[in-house]
Each structure stands twice: as structure tokens, then as C-alpha cells.
Structure 1
Amino acid sequence: MNESKIKRDPEGTRRRILAAAAEEFANGGLSGARVDQIARRALTNERMLYYYFGSKEQLFTAVLEQSFSCLSEAERQLDLEGLEPVEAITQLAHFIWNYYFEHQDLLRLLNNENLHEARYIKSSARINEMMSPVTSVLASILMRGAEAGVFRADVDPLRFYVTLSALGYYVLSNRYTLAAILGRDFTEPEERVEVLKLSTEMVLCYLRSKPEGS
């Protein structure tokens, strides 16, 4: 693609760079990703990449922002308020597992960002503004469940969300080592169904249990 066409389609060029960078960063991390390879995948050149994003680190931050934006938007599409509490939690658990399974590049990006101690997330005002929109909805579901007598009343929504997310995150982010060590691929269709069923039943059992001394 020649430079004149690139200049006539700045948004298209930017989108291609972000898409190529997301794949490169997910596969090689910030250190392993190559700017020349990103530019090649995006059908542009390194000069245009630096023009739009300034540096490799700023491009990595932009990729993280886009990934979180997509997750936040998907969460906003959830319609859980009209459901009974148990069904709402079940659907949320299924959503989280399926989203992570379908976006495993997000898990790899987060794993790499943890190696950097969240340096680039901390530097992004945009990510800080995109706190999970589902946590406020979750708080409402937990409250409704407690008022109906089907859930315990001492559940912290944010801790619960992190724990719920961790169940799927661990299995998927460690899929290859788990398969190598345990001899079972938990991302195979049958295993996915059973693991999702198990994790959902675990969180529902916790929500239905009564705290000690109650």
C-alpha cells in the first residue's frame, strides 16, 4: 500500500497497526515484538507507526486500552438485571469464561503486563476510567439475592468478581502447562463444558452457603 493511500485513510491505517500490534504483543510480549514486523503486518512502514503512536511502549499501551475497551463494551451488552439472581450469576460466569476463551490474546497481554508490574496500565488514564462496568451490576444482583434469601449477605462484589474471573483465567492462561503436566487439555470442547459447570456450581455453592456464626 503506497503512502498516499495511507494518508487518505488515517483511521484505517491506525486500526491496522493496532490489530497487527495486538497479535505481535500477544505472541512475543513488549520485549519480543518487533516494530518492523508490526508495520509489515499492517501494510505500512515504521515511520507511520511512530507518527500515530509515538513509540513502541505507547503502542503497547494503546493495545491494552483497546483490549480493555472491548471487554468493557461486551460487559455493557450483558442484560442481567431482569434475571433471577441465580440465573444472573450463572450467565455472568458463562460470559466470563467464554469471553476469555474467545480472546486469549487478552490473557497473554495481561500476563506480559504483569511482568512489567502494570507499568503501562498505570500510565493510562483511559484504562483507569474503564473500571469493569459489570461490578456495579453484580453488586445489585448480589443484593437482590440476599434480600430474596437465596444468597448470603456478606459478599464483597469486587472480591467475588475477581475470584469468578480467576477460575477461567487460570485454566486458560495455563492451558499448555496443565496439558503437559496433567495430560489433559481443559480447552477441549467436552472439558470446557465440565470445567465451566464445575466453576459455576462452586461459586453458586459459596453464595448459597451461610457464613459461620450466622
Structure 2
Amino acid sequence: MNELVHSTRAVKTKAKAAPRATTRLAPVSRTNDPARTMAGILEVATAEFAAKGLSGARIDEIAAATKTSKRMIYYYFGSKEGLYVAVLEDSYRRMRQIEAELHLEDLAPEAALRRLVEFTFDHHSSNPDYIRLVMTENMERGAYLAQSQSIQELNVPAIQSIRMLYERGVAQGVFRPGLEPIDIHASISALTFFNVSNQYTFSLIFKNDAQSQQAVTARRNSITEMIVRFVRI
């Protein structure tokens, strides 16, 4: 009998001493993606600099909007001015990347020129922040753009592309000789840029709705035709 009691007590003691099984939740993984973080900062910073210029933009607001910190922004870009230069570089890079996908070399010279003008018009119309950034940098007298080697390198292929399509047109007797590719580029930029940069003042002064779809389409066609006639023989 004593042995039975002793055995029962031993079993109970072991049962009490046995550890209880616990369910552990898997740790939440955190993705460390610097490229994605930088892209988000650039997107918000583009709008901030475009709206307020270099002097008016605030790193605090960019940090808050991106749920990051000033320290992280400075870690990636060095300074407010460094972020501004990065925004300029990103804006030019995106435009030139899309421009390179037009495959102008596969088109007849006049068709290629038309496509280039139409693309530039559409890009500027749908990216007013880009126009404001360029206006801001002109107010800065190009001081920060001059610090960027990549922006200057990005524009070399753009001029080279115009040179190639223009020279093809001259060789085929379609375009008149004696024009400079940079001058053609300047004319395209001037007309398409003005359409966005001066849209509000122009509409108010002349009491017309320059932003209606009909007006935008008509202006697009007009600018394209002006450039083609300027170059055509």
C-alpha cells in the first residue's frame, strides 16, 4: 500500500515538473530596401521642391510624408542641397530614359521628328513638377545643375539623337541643311516648355481656356507643325 502511494505521488510530482508547451509566434520580418526608401524620398522631395523651390522646401515635411527621418535623408543624400541635386538628376534621367525608348532611328526623318516633338509636349504637359524644377534651377542660375556630371552626360545622347535624325533628313533631301541640332532642341524645348510654364498667366491675360482638351490638342499639333516646317526643305 505504501509503495502504491509513493508511486502515485512520484507520478504527480513528475507531471507538475514537466514544462508546459508554449506556442511562439514567428518574428515579423523587416525588409531593408534602401533603393525603395530612396525612391520614395525622391518622389516626395520632387513635389516639395517643385512647389516651394530650394529655399522654401523643408526636410522635416519630406521626412514626415515618407515616414522616415531627417537623419535617414541626410544619410542617403548628405544634405538638403544634395537631395535637391538628386531630384534634378532623377527628373532628367526619367525623361531621357523614356526618350531613348522612342526608337527614332527606326522611323523616317520627318516621322521621327514629329514623334520627338509630340513626346516632349506630352511629357511636359503631364509632368508640371519637372517644369517647375527647371524654372527653380534657372532662378538658381544653374548652380546646382552644374554640380551634377550625370545630368550633363544624360543630355549628350539627346542631342546626338537629334543630330542623327536631322542628318538622315538632309541626306534624303527632306530637311534643309545648315541647322544646328542644339538649335532644333532649343526650339522644341522653348515651345513645349512655355505651354506649361506660362499656362496660368497666358490664360488669364488672353481669357482663353488653354487647359481644355481641345486647346491642348490644337497646341500640340501647332507646335509639331512649326518645328517640322522650320526643319523641312
**Alignment TM-score, normalising by the size of structure 2:** 0.83
Post-superposition offset of 1:208: 2.2
| 2:62 aligned residue | 38
Find the partner of 1:66 among 73, 86, 90.
Answer: 90
User: For residues 114-129 of structure 1, what are the structure 2 equivalents within 5 Å?
Assistant: 114-129=138-153
Post-superposition offset of 1:10: 2.2
Q: Deviations over 1:57-89 (max 9, x none)?
A: 111001001111101101111111121111111
For the residues of structure 2 that align with 1:205 and 1:83, how far apart are their CA atoms?
18
Find the partner of 1:88 among 89, 112, 137.
Answer: 112
- Largest Rg, 1 or 2: 2
Find the partner of 2:167 among 123, 140, 143.
Answer: 143
Q: Deviations over 1:150-204 (max 9, x none)?
A: 2101111111111111101011111111111111232321111111111111112
Tell me which amino acid in the other structure corresponds to 2:168: R
Name segments (4+ residues, structure 1) moved above 3 Å.
Answer: none
Find the partner of 1:29 among 27, 50, 53.
Answer: 53
Find the partner of 2:123 among 99, 121, 137.
Answer: 99
Find the partner of 1:18 among 42, 61, 65.
Answer: 42
Post-superposition offset of 1:5: 5.0
Is 1:152 aligned to residue 176 of structure 2? yes
Tell me which amino acid in the other structure corresponds to 1:44: T
**Alignment TM-score, normalising by the size of structure 1:** 0.91
Q: In percent, how many aligned pairs have the same letter?
A: 37
- Counting matched residue pairs gives 205
Indicate the SS of the match to 1:131.
helix
Could you say what the CA RMSD is over the residues aligned between the two structures, in angstroms?
Answer: 1.6
Indicate the SS of the match to 2:104.
coil
For the residues of structure 2 that align with 1:90 and 1:151, how far apart are their CA atoms?
13
| 1:190 aligned residue | 214
Tell me which amino acid in the other structure corresponds to 1:161: H
